[in-house]
A and B are shown apart, each in its own frame.
Chain A
Amino acid sequence: MKKGSGIITIAVFCGALIAGLLPDSLAAQSCSSCHAAMAETPVTLPDNPPADVLAALSTPCAQYGRILEEWYYIEELFVTTEHHLLALHEDRYHVEPLAQQLVDSRALYRAAMQKPIRSLAEFQQITGKLRFDVGKVYREAKAHRQEQGGRFVFGIILIGTLGILFLMVTGWRVASGSGIVHPTETTLGYDALQQQAAEQPEEEVAE
């Protein structure tokens, strides 16, 4: 692909979108604005959200694509929160209140996903509240994990610091202790000097 061709493509796409030549049903108020049958039978979600979020882009209806995208992200948030809680639980962290909150949110999630959808705005309103609730659990779980990680790092630093201190003290004690002087050395200890003085001849002292 030549350099700059991507920018030209985007510019052409945006121009076409603005001119109303491409499908852009985001402005539609409800599913029934474009899909006649949906006035009676509103949209229901398929069995699974798209595992690849890009798949949401391939639907001809932009609103439906956004609904699938929302679904993907809300489920991703759920599952990631569960993984955080599981990791905390494995580390014997007390996660019971958080887990209970997640169970409550899961009940809301199930109820919301089973409801027929009449418009993107309505769906976003439901998922927005859900995201807020699950987001709170996610934030707390993540904060606990970070706190736990922080404690681990702090522990390592503390042990390291204490180790260094111990080594320093030991080194200092070795360096400044009574010390064993080699007999061949010229310097003598206090006791040895006293003994040497006692052994000196008396005339030398009188002088």
Chain B
Amino acid sequence: MRTLFWSVIALVLLLSLTSLAFYGGEEEVVAEKPSEAVTQMVGELRAQVDLLTEDFGKLEELIALSIAAANSPYGQRWIVEAENLQVSLQNRVANSVSSLERRILSSNPPVGVAKQVQEFMGRAHDCLAIESHIAVTIAKHSVGLDVPQSEWMALADMYAGVKNTYQRNMGLKALSARLVAINPAASSEIAVRLDAPFVKMLYRIEQTTISADEILQSGLDDFLKLQLLVALGKHQSAQVVSRAAVQLVTACKDAKEQAFCAARVLTQLPGIPAAQRNALIALVEQGDALLVASTKIAIGDDAALENIPQQYPRERLLASSIKKSTQASLNSLIEAAEEITSVTLRDEVLLHIATNKSPLSDDDFALLIDSMEDSYVQLVAKLDRLKKAPMAPDAATKYLMSLEAFAESVKESQPLIDLTVAWGCVDPYMARQTLTRFDTPSRVQAAVALSAVLTEEAQVSRILADVREEVSRTTTFEPVEKSTLLRQIAGAVQAVDTDENLAILEEAYRAVVQ
């Protein structure tokens, strides 16, 4: 007995020492540091990838600029430059960046460094996205350059290298859809290359060459069949797929799975006939309270929310339920909204009522505004009211002056831009004054939106010239950011002065290439 006792003690000690030794070994691995040469190479790789990402941004901007200048000689010149830049990006990734990656990995770096290299290479490959090749080719076509058939097919060939079957097929399907209007022959030829049954069927749904029974009889997984049926129902009508959908959902073995699938069909195909609808609702009722309530509210039925234990989904569902019943009396709607404790959700509901309930008297509207807490929501509701019920100039000026009080505490730029536009319809001078409250990017947006409602060309030119000057002078913008803002201004100037439009686009181009 004594021997056994000492043996156990010895075994425990041995195990403890072994685990300690292992633990100590791991510590050493974690603490391992890369050599100086590896650190230097990683730094170099990072710098190269940063430069690549920056140039990729320039490539995207050049494509946008060439499309904006499609009707001028600049368009063709800039898209050729964009294509050259794309080739240069490809070469840089294939040569210097990849060789640097190989050198780092061959030096057997620590795990952390290897992961960092992997992340950098992911960013580098993002710059070679097939979508950017498609964008360049379509832009070439848009500016009037001749694109041979082989070039269109080369785009499809790029997808051949994508390993994931679904992604490859979805890419080909997307390309085929984009080329329908540009080059129908290439579009059909690309569609033939689809080899995944699911994507092929999705394509056939869009072409209206497949029936619900054919989907049901296919050898696909039940969940995929259901997705295809829903897609077919959306493309044609819910009646076409209702019988097949109920058959498929009923065939699910598990009650919870049946409830889940039935809920998806009901919420995504609202036009399903009454008989099938009732059958699906009966299946949904096998699910938990949250699923039952969310489905019933989505299809416009009354739902019991008390059984949902968590406060967040309960309040969200209550909000959705109130939003769906704007025809009820205002007092009952406000009373129901007051049950929502979250300010964000309650104000969202009140805003929805204010913008969607009609008719709404001035007193009712004032009552709604008083019930709101956030000045953003109050401002949006009041601007919407003005848009729906235009006033006489004097009354509108007074009304807009009262909105300026809300504007002081609003931080989002969109409703303030809308306020500037509203001023533009009543008092252009005041509208111009309100531009001073924005930062430069928002001021450009506001000026562009304002120029669309102003009737006097001189005023438009002056406002746009002011913002252009401001953007040109600002030195803190990145080249692409500056070019994007100038491009927006150029788009607004085009309606009043074509020469000025080209001059601004040229300035934007210079900002990018510098």
* A contact residues vs B (CB 8 Å cutoff): 1, 16, 19-25, 27-30, 32-37, 39, 47-52, 54-55, 58, 60, 75-76, 78-80, 82-83, 86, 103-104, 106-107, 109-111, 114
Query: Among A21, A29, A52, which residue has the most Cβ atoms of chain B within 10 A?
Result: A52
Q: Which residues from chain A contact B174 at a C-beta distance below 8 Å?
A: 32-36
Would you list which residues of chain B between 204 and 226 have a CB under 8 Å from chain A?
221, 224
Which single member of B175, B176, B224 contacts A22 (CB below 8 Å)?
B224
- Pairwise interchain contact A52-B290, C-beta atoms closer than 8 A: yes
B-side contacts of A23, CB under 8 Å = 166, 198, 224
Docked complex Cα distance between A3 and B320 (Å)? 39
B315 touches A (CB below 8 Å): yes
Known: A20-B163, A55-B294, A60-B231. 4 other contacts (CB 8 A): A20-B164, A47-B323, A58-B260, A58-B268
- Chain B facing A: main interface SS: helix
A147 to chain B, nearest CB (A): 21
CB-CB contacts below 8 Å: B238-277 with A? 253-254, 260, 263-264, 267-268
A28 touches B170 (CB 8 A): yes
B interface with A by C-beta (< 8 Å): 126, 129-131, 134-135, 163-167, 170-171, 173-178, 196, 198, 221, 224, 227, 231, 253-254, 260, 263-264, 267-268, 290-291, 293-294, 297, 311-313, 315-317, 319-320, 323, 341-345, 374, 376, 410-414
Q: How far is the CB of A194 from chain B (nearest CB, A)?
A: 72
B residues less than 8 Å from A36 (CB atoms): 173-178
With A32-B131, A33-B130, A52-B290 as known contacts, state yes or no: A22 contacts B167, CB within 8 Å: no
Contact yes or no, B414 A51, CB < 8 A: no
* A11 to B: closest C-beta gap in Å: 14
Choice from A37, A79, A104, A110 contacting B177 with Cβ under 8 Å:
A37
Q: Are B411 and A49 in contact, with the CB atoms below 8 A?
A: no
Q: Of B135, B165, B297, which contacts A20 at CB under 8 A?
A: B165
Bound state CA distance, A86 and B167, in angstroms?
46
Q: Is the CB of B167 within 8 A of A82?
A: no
* A–B complex contacts, Cβ < 8 Å, 12 sampled: A20-B163, A29-B131, A33-B129, A33-B170, A36-B176, A39-B131, A39-B134, A50-B294, A52-B290, A52-B313, A58-B264, A109-B344
A22 to B221: give the CA distance in the assembly, Å: 9
**Contacting residues, chain B, for A78 (C-beta < 8 A):** 342, 344
Separation of A132 and B167 alpha carbons in the complex (Å)? 32
Q: CA–CA, A47 to B224, complex, Å?
A: 26
Min Cβ gap B17→A in Å is: 38
Q: Give Cα A82–Cα B253 distance, bound, in whole angstroms.
A: 41
Q: Do A1 and B254 have beta carbons less than 8 Å apart?
A: yes
Given known A-B contacts A23-B166, A28-B170, A33-B130, A1 and B253 have beta carbons under 8 A apart: yes
